[in-house]
Amino acid sequence: MRRCSSNPILYPVREHSWEAYAVFNPSVIKKGGYYYMLYRAVSSSDLLKKQGSSYSSIGIAKSRDGVHFYERRRFIIPEKDWEIFGCEDPRATYLEGRYYIFYTAISTLPPTAEGIRVGVAVSRDLKQVEEKYLVTSFNAKAMALFPERINKKLTAILTVHTDKPPAYIAIAQLSDDPSQWIYEMNEWYREFMNYVLTPDPRRSPLDHIEVGAPPIKLNDGWLLIYSYIQNYFSPRIEDRIFGVEALLLDLDDPRKIIKKTSYPFMVPEEFYEKYGNVPNVVFPTSVIRGRDTIRLYYGAADTTCCLLTAKTNEIIKIMDGELNRVFERYSGNPIIKPRPEHDWESVSTFNPAAIELEGKIYILYRALSSDKTSTIGLAVTEDGFNIVERLDEPIYVPREKFEMKLTPGHSGCEDPRIVKIDDRLYMFYTAYDNVHPPKVAVTWITVEDFLNRNWRWATPKIISPPDIDDKNACVIPEKINGKYLFIHRAGGINICYDYIESLESVNTSELLSITLLAPRQGMWDGKKIGLAAPPIKTSQGWLVFYHGLSHDNVYRVGAFLLDLENPEKVIGRTLHPLLEPVEYYEKEGYVKNVVFPCGAVVKNGIVYLYYGGADTYVCAARAPLREVLSRIS
């Protein structure tokens, strides 16, 4: 899914007073080789405040390519009593020679639920409005007509009680005479709960839903892309998360939901979505279907009109969960389990680093003892899955003050990542004393000593900014312009980076911790993110796996690509997780619902991913490298 490089595709025009403040929530129709955009236009302020600070009308513009619009003019103007304080958010459908444009009609100031209703304008040519009618006498918004009859009747979808929640999305069938719709809808409203979508698509009673774009017909059902607002009814407005989601409705009975998304596939990320008259808003209002793609038009920050394109089958795959099925788990998982006979690894064995040396894969895993001290154990596999050797003693233990236990609880050397640079293996890990913030430590050992089991590790050094929680760290294993790119998570939320000249001597007070990648609020990686395995060099860029924690505290795995020559530039990122907790060994354990990789190896075009399951086990999965890269956009 890609945002248009020309976004925003429609801005307010200062010289046009009727659209000087904002233009957003566009409805686009393609007809006769042209795209026609109807959009909400907010005027400059009314100094006498008779209309409030400003008011909305509906504009129209024309385009040959659906991106560059011209000939902007007002099309639907507040003039009747039931719309006198604004005409907002059009949804247009062309059916049987007519354009039906539903819109939100505002009749009270300040707006009240009773004064926020649905109107419709009818036109045959989009040059002028021929008829206008009030459609609902009750509170409703976002009504849209299906683009063909269902069971021989005109059929509409709308949101009831948007402003006196809870809101419901419902289906209504109408006669061919728009002048009678208000009477028909009054009758319909008496039993509207019989027509709402089932099952309720909301995941929480704190969430809010609203019809987005008019439905489009696919082979398997009606695709409805709609607005899903998480935490809408939270006491804190800043907790609200505007996202875009999708439903697939039954072709013959669109009240029935066949499939749905389980989290947004779009949230505010770009500056024009995060900043505006109403910050952090993406609001879908129109979809144009191509042969195998869709164009999604949306409002950004209640200020501008924007465009996103996507493959139609990707939307369906999202609802099916297919996009999460990239990695094939090893049937013998877990490949490493705790051993009660060894106290140092009796509670958990998890979060493994991995490196290939002389044809074998060495797995360095975090082991947790009965007193909650973490050390590093070692196991070896030749085929990527089956363990052929596992040492009885840890190969790395806490040695320095910053990783020695100061009070009862978790401490030690956690979550290793390992890379080979020249003839050395550098291991980055989290050093924790259970009192001070966790820090990133680095040590090294020669490849020769490692292979000969001579555990002569160098004295570890801290490479974290002072007095800041920092972990999930490694470097790109080669210098770029004379420096290493050091990736870590200073502050506990974002993946950040610094350039460092030497791994043996780092002035930690000079680290800047510049954000490289941030959580996408409301999505599967919306709470916090961190580096998983060390970066892997590919022809397309540095492949970086990362873990993402959702607001419901589930750890999943995604990936992003960094430019080979300018690695602080993010080329692309997976929209959906590549791996998420499904199996018992990922869902139940020391910490539930966790997949947490610290190592990955590429052999013969296959990525072997090594991860901790539920903070209890070491697990493995594999996927074709090309398939992983194909999911990054």
Buried b (16+ CB within 10 A) or exposed e, 548-559: bbbbeebbbbbb
Domain that holds residue 405: 328-506+520-630
Instruction: Enter the tokens of residue 56.
Output: 């909305």
What pLDDT does residue 609 have?
98
Q: Of 294, 236, 315, 227, nearest to 267 (Cα)?
A: 227
Closest CA to 167 of 226, 209, 112, 227: 209
Q: Do 294 and 339 have their domain in common?
A: no
Phi-psi region of 32 (alpha: psi -120 to 50; beta: other; left: phi over 0): left
- Distance separating the N- and C-terminal Cα atoms of the chain: 7
Last residue of a domain, one of 292, 320, 348: 320
* Residue 172, in any domain of the structure: yes
Q: Which residues contact 358 (CB under 8 A, 6 or more apart)?
A: 451
Number of domains in the chain: 2
Domain boundary among the residues 289, 320, 351 is at: 320
Instruction: Name the domain boundary from 299, 320, 341.
Output: 320
Q: Does the residue 511 lie in any domain? A: no
Displacement of CA 437 from its chain's centroid (Å): 29
What does the pLDDT read at residue 47? 52
DSSP, residue by residue, 158-186: EEE-SSSSSPEEEEEEE-S-GGGHHHHHH
pLDDT, position 53: 58
Intervals of the chain under pLDDT 50: 48
253 and 284 both lie in a single domain: yes
Distance CA 629, CA 633 (A): 9
**Residue 17 placed within a domain:** yes
Question: Is 604 domain-assigned?
Answer: yes
- Same domain membership, residue 303 and residue 249: yes
**208, 214, 219, 221: CA torsion to nearest 10:** 40
Give the distance from CA 173 to its chain's centroid.
35
pLDDT confidence of residue 234: 83
Q: What is the 3-state secondary structure (H, E, C) of 378-429?
A: EEEECCCCCEEEECCCCCECCCCHHHCCCCCCCEEEEEEEEEEECCEEEEEE
- What is the predicted pLDDT for the residue at 313? 87
Domain assignment of residue 512, yes or no: no
Q: How far apart are CA 221 and CA 249, in angstroms?
A: 5
d(CA 548, CA 263): 14
> Both 441 and 570 in a single domain?
yes
**Do 7 and 58 lie in a common domain?**
yes
Cα(142)–Cα(157) distance, integer angstroms: 8
Asked if residue 352 and residue 209 are part of one domain, the reply reads no
For residues 414 and 405, give the distance between their C-alpha atoms in angstroms, rounded to a whole number. Answer: 13
User: Which CATH number belongs to the domain containing residue 335 in this structure?
Assistant: 2.115.10.20
For residues 283 and 344, state if they share a domain.
no
What does the pLDDT read at residue 43?
92
Residue type, 622: R
Residues 301 and 343 in one domain: no
| 171 in the same domain as 54 | yes
**DSSP summary character for residue 157:** E
Residue 515 within a domain: no
Q: How far apart are CA 110 and CA 49, in angstroms?
A: 11
Q: What percent of the chain has pLDDT over 70?
A: 98
Measured CA to CA in angstroms, residue 55 lies from 38, 109, 299, 365, 449 at distances of: 16, 11, 17, 62, 75
How many whole angstroms separate alpha carbon 125 and alpha carbon 256?
34
The answer as to whether 513 is a domain residue is: no
Amino acid letter, 141? K
**Rounded to whole angstroms, how far apart are CA atoms 422 and 416?**
19
Q: With 0-12 CB in 10 A as exposed, 13-18 as middle and 19+ as buried, what is 105?
A: buried
**Same domain for 291 and 398?**
no
Is there a single domain that holds both residue 162 and residue 230? Answer: yes
Whether a cis peptide bond, with omega within 30° of 0, leads into 254 is no
Go through the chain and tell me how many residues it has: 633
Residue 514 falls within a domain, yes or no? no
H or E element in which residue 273 lies: helix 271-274
Query: Would you state the pLDDT for residue 324?
Result: 67
Are 261 and 248 contacting, i.e. CB atoms less than 8 angstroms apart?
A: no
Residue labelled with tokens 């008829």: 131
> Do 315 and 180 reside in the same domain of the chain?
yes
